[in-house]
Amino acid sequence: MTQTVSDHEVAAVVAADERRAERIDRIVGLIQRQGALAVLVVVVVIGSVAFPNFRSFDNAATILIAAAPPALIALGMTFVIITGGIDLSVGSLYVLGGVVSAYASQWGLLPAFLAPLAVCGLIGVLNGALIAYSRMAPFIVTLAALLGARGLMRAISDEGSTTYLVENDAFRAFGTGSFLGIGYPVWLVAAVFAAGMVLLSRTRFGHAVYAVGGSEDAASLMGVAVRRTKVWVYVMSGLLAGLAGAINAAKLGSGVTVLGTGMELDAIAAVVIGGTLLTGGAGTIAGTIAGVLLLGVIQNMINQVGNVPSSYQQVISGAFLAVVVVAQTYLVKLRRVT
C-alpha cells in the first residue's frame, strides 16, 4: 500500500536530515581538531587519581619546564607542516643552538640569546631558499641540513669533546629561576606561543601559510607570495629551534652535545597528534600545545610509576601516535561522507 506524502513533509524530513548531517560534521570536526586536548584532559584526570604526586603544583611546573624546548620546536614545525613541508633539521639546530648559546654566554646575556638565533636562523634561510627556489624536496634539503648542522656543532665543540659552560650568571638565572612558581623559560615559551597563535590566525602571513599548504597553485593565483612564505616558515622553524637550544643551555648551565637525536621526529609526532595534517593546509597551534603536553604528561606519569624503564615511554608514545593518526584519518573520511 503506497502512502502519499505531501511536499511539505518531504521538505521537513530533508531539512532534519541536513541538520543531523551538519551536527555530525561539526562534532567530527571538533573531535579531529580538539581530540588531543580531550585525551590530554582524560590522561591528566587519570594521572591525578592514580598518582598522589602527579597533581601537585610542583609536578605541573616540572612538566611545563621539561616541555618548554620541545614545544618551541613543535611550534615552528606546525607552521612548516601547515605549508605542506617538513623540517628534519630542528633536532640538530637545537643542539647547535645550545652549544652556540653556551659559548656566546661569555659575552653576556644578550649574545647568549642572539648568537644561536643568528646561526640557526641563517640555516633556516638556507633551508627555505633551497626549498622555495630550487624545487628540491623539503625532506631532503632539511635532511642535509640535519647533517650539516650536526657537523658544524661538532666542529665548534672540538668533535664533541668540549662542553662550553655557561659563565653568565644572568643567563643561568633565567634558565633556573621562576616567577609565581613557574620557570622563566615557560613564561617565555608561553609568550612566543601567544605570538605564534596571533601570527597564524590573525595576520596575512598566517593566511598565506594556510593557502600555500592548501594548494600552492591556487595560492599563487590568489596573489600569495608562495616562495617568500615558504622561506619564512623555515626561518621561523630554525629560529625557534635555536631559541629552544638557548633555553636548554640556560637550564643545564652548559651546551650539551649529545642530545637532540630524533627530536625532529618527536616534534612531528606532537604536531600530528595535535591534529595538524601532514598533507598541509590545516592545523592549529592549540592542538600542537595539547600534543606536546600529552607526550610530556605521559613521560611524567611513567616516571611517577617509578621502576618502569624509560623504554616503555617510547612504546606508549608510538602506540599513541598510531591510534591518534588512524582515528584522525577515519574522522576525515567520515566528514567527507556525511
> Where does this chain bind other proteins (CB under 8 A)?
86, 130, 134-137, 139-141, 143-148, 150-155, 159, 261-262, 265-266, 268-269, 272, 278-279, 309, 311-319, 321-322, 325-326, 329-330, 333
DSSP 8-state assignment for residue 137 = -
What length is written for the chain? 338
Nearest CB to other proteins, comparing residues 185 and 287: 287
Q: How far is the CB of 89 from other proteins (least distance, A)?
A: 10
Output the smallest distance, CB 20 to other proteins, in A: 26
Using CA atoms, how far apart are residues 82 and 282, in angstroms rounded to an integer?
6
> Could you tell me the smallest distance in angstroms from the CB atom of residue 316 to other proteins?
8
- Pair 285, 193: CB distance under 8 Å: yes
- Please, which residue, 207 or 335, has the CB nearer to other proteins? 335
Residue closer to other proteins (CB basis): 126 or 186: 126
Cβ-in-10-Å burial (0-12, 13-18, 19+) of 106 comes to: middle
Q: Which cell goes with 4?
A: 502519499
CB of 265 vs other proteins, minimal distance in Å: 6
* Nearer residue to other proteins within complex by CB, 150 or 172: 150
Alpha carbon distance 247, 185 (integer Å): 7
CB of 106 to other proteins, least distance (A): 22
Task: Give the shortest CB-315-to-other proteins separation in angstroms.
Answer: 4
Question: Is the four-CA dihedral 150, 153, 158, 160 of positive or negative sign?
Answer: negative
Angle of CA points 314, 288, 219, to nearest 5°? 125
229 versus 317: smaller Cβ distance to other proteins: 317
Closest to other proteins by CB, 29 or 148 = 148
Question: Which amino acid would we find at residue 23?
Answer: R
Query: What are the C-alpha distances in Å from 21 to residues 7, 14, 15, 35?
Result: 21, 10, 10, 20
**Nearer to other proteins among residue 107 and residue 312 (C-beta):** 312
Q: Are 79 and 209 in contact (CB under 8 A)?
A: yes
CB of 105 to other proteins, least distance (A): 22
Q: Three-class SS of residue 103?
A: helix
Segment (H or E) for 182: strand 182-183
Residue matched to cell numbers 587519581: 49
